[in-house]
Amino acid sequence: MSSEEFISDCLSFANKRLNEFENLNKGNLAGADRKVREQLFREFFFHLVSAIDFLVQFINSKRNLCFRKKDVKVLDVKSKLKKLNPADPIIPILDIIYPKIDDNNLPPDPYSELGCHTRIIIYRNFITHRSHNPICFRTITNTVHLYFYPNNINFLLDPNDKGSNVSDKTAIDEMHSFYQLLKDKCEKAIILI
């Protein structure tokens, strides 16, 4: 199998998990089995970031960067490309799909293309290394009951910040955007390579 096929497969797997997540429990995500919801969510982000990893493998191979497969890392590939040709059109794509994550995790606009790609990495890292999924269920309370909006779950914009705002967009809408943004960037990179 070629690296291009691996990239395509990862994106296909992410899309499949997204569709399963969206239709889980007939769209009533708040009432869905927590473990199944968690699994689909984790797998969605795992496959998105895996597509980035395979893209970097593909770049390493096609640009003859000479990293051993087990040593290929996004930051190393970006650094080597910058040394070889600072004007390489692949560099801006890698810069946006794998942004540097620092203490000020989010760019000023978390909904921008850079903000979305940053959040893809943050969410994948968060669910892999720190905790459960960074989603909020919108609720209404009165004196007796807690009501869920079952189809309206939202991301914490920065799950690493306990004071983070909740996204104005639904998690499902954002996951569709994340998928499409990354798919478009991978396709563009493959053409440029």
**Which tens digit of pLDDT belongs to each residue from 46-104?**
999 999 999 999 999 999 999 988 889 999 999 999 999 999 999 999 999 998 876 55
164 lies in some domain: no
Tally of domains within the chain = 1
**Which tens digit of pLDDT belongs to each residue from 105-142?**
788 898 999 999 998 988 888 777 666 555 555 544 44
155 lies in some domain: no
45 lies in some domain: yes
Confidence of residue 148 (pLDDT cuts 50, 70, 90): very low
154 lies in some domain: no
Residue 6 is predicted with a pLDDT of 93
126 lies in some domain: yes
Residues 6+ apart with CB under 8 A from 30: 137, 148, 149, 150, 153
What's the mean pLDDT in 161-183? 84
144 lies in some domain: no
Residues 6+ apart with CB under 8 A from 114: 96, 99, 107
Q: Is the pLDDT of residue 144 over 90?
A: no
pTM of the entire structure? 0.85
Assigned token pair, 177? 């955007």
Confidence of residue 158 (pLDDT cuts 50, 70, 90): low
Task: Tell me how far apart the alpha carbons of residues 109 and 179 are, in angstroms, rounded to a whole number.
Answer: 19
Assigned token pair, 114? 């850079």
- DSSP 3-state of 103: coil
Q: Is the pLDDT of residue 7 over 70?
A: yes
Assigned token pair, 94? 């890698």
Residue 164 is predicted with a pLDDT of 66
Domain that holds residue 116: 3-132+170-192
Helix (H) or strand (E) holding 152: strand 146-156
Burial (CB < 10 A; 0-12, 13-18, 19+), residue 1, is exposed
Residue 32 is predicted with a pLDDT of 78
24 lies in some domain: yes
**Side-by-side strand order, sheet with 146-156:** 135-141, 146-156, 166-170
163 lies in some domain: no
